[in-house]
Amino acid sequence: MVTETAPIATHSDAIIRIGGLLADSGIPAPDAIGHRVVHGGPTLLQHCVIDDSVLRRLETAAAFAPLHTPAALAVIHYAQEHFPGLPQVACFDTAFHADMPDVARTLPIARELVASGLQRYGFHGLSCESIVHQLGDDLPARTVIAHLGNGASVTAVRSGKSIDTSMGLTPTGGVMMGTRSGDLDPGVLLYLLREKHFDAVMLEDLVDHRSGLRGISGTSSDMRLLHAAAPADAAARLAIQMFCYGVRKQVAAMVAALDGVDLIVFTGGIGEHDAQVRAGICSGLSSVGVSLDEGRNRTANDPISSFASSCAVRVLASQEDEQIARHTGTLLASAGPSATTRLVPQR
């Protein structure tokens, strides 16, 4: 394992540095590169080997995730230039949710728009897959996964399959996040269009960059900074309370979708490291049998649920890179006799 922490200006510089690290360390050149791609649109719903057709469809799908897909495409192109001829694989965050039932996937809009690909796709799928993989035979029938970070989502998993999730057509939907609004009354956007003369660029900037924790606090999207400011800052306190309250409501909704819950898993940067947020979320879930052990929660000593809790609560690390490597190896092994053993995930 070779690691390095350093400021890197561009995606191209990052790829070049990775190549340099591999060469300098004496590690053999990779056999393949796996890429995390947030959104493949309506035509790319499963992990796949990247070819020209896939690239064209990714470019078309960029409108679904303008914060993520253009950057992912840039990394793919730079990787192709720096590692010419090396197989590359796209691993989609939407893939885990691709088989959600129609009742969860379908948006309540005109049928012709649904037919054009406007639906609930769901995201953080690689993170959810990694939780399912880590649990293995210990995965219960009804699990709720709360991936909480700068982006946040809550997913209902029945017997290892996603049946509903909080994010929708894009990664902007669902619970309030670091700078993203999450779900809004559509009338808010219509009001801003009509009365405040917002255009699409202004709306996108608002819901993706000036909302969520940053919008409410007026200062920061970093939960650590908000905790530090909260004792003297009412806006920071409100931002934290709204985040916990919103996630709690989504967890309860997923419990209803599952008709009960056996396990809640916290993952992601906030989910794994913020005991105060975990406690704030779980404090309102006693009606579904959730009870935390204060000491275990404070130290993230898994499991963090108390003996009295009828629902287990755990903290597990998101292992998206490992999932990318697994999918890349599986896809390339199935594509030909040259098995892939050295894989470089790109995120």
Please, is 140 exposed, middle or buried when counting C-beta atoms within 10 Å of its C-beta (0-12, 13-18, 19+)? Answer: middle
Q: From CA 56, how far away is CA 283, in angstroms rounded?
A: 47
Identify which of 167, 341, 145 has the alpha carbon closest to the alpha carbon of residue 251.
145
Which of the residues are catalytic?
A: 93
Contacts of 94 (CB under 8 A, 6+ apart): 38, 39, 40, 45, 121, 122, 123, 125
Is residue 1 classed as helix, strand or coil in its secondary structure? coil
Instruction: Determine the distance from the C-alpha atom of residue 200 to the mean position of all C-alpha atoms in its chain, rounded to a whole number.
Output: 24
The per-residue DSSP string of 143-199 comes to EEEEEESSSEEEEEEETTEEEEES--SSTTSSS--SS---S--HHHHHHHHHHS---
Identify which of 142, 123, 125, 114 has the alpha carbon closest to the alpha carbon of residue 257.
142
Is residue 329 classed as helix, strand or coil in its secondary structure? helix
∠ CA(188), CA(238), CA(151), 5° rounding? 65
What interhelical angle do 275-282 and 234-258 show, nearest 10?
60
For the four alpha carbons of 244, 170, 212 and 72, in that order, the dihedral sign comes to positive
Encode burial over 64-80: b for 16+ CB neighbours within 10 A, e otherwise. bbebbbeebbebbebbb
Encoded amino acid at 37, one letter: V
Q: From CA 181, how far away is CA 100, in angstroms rounded?
A: 24
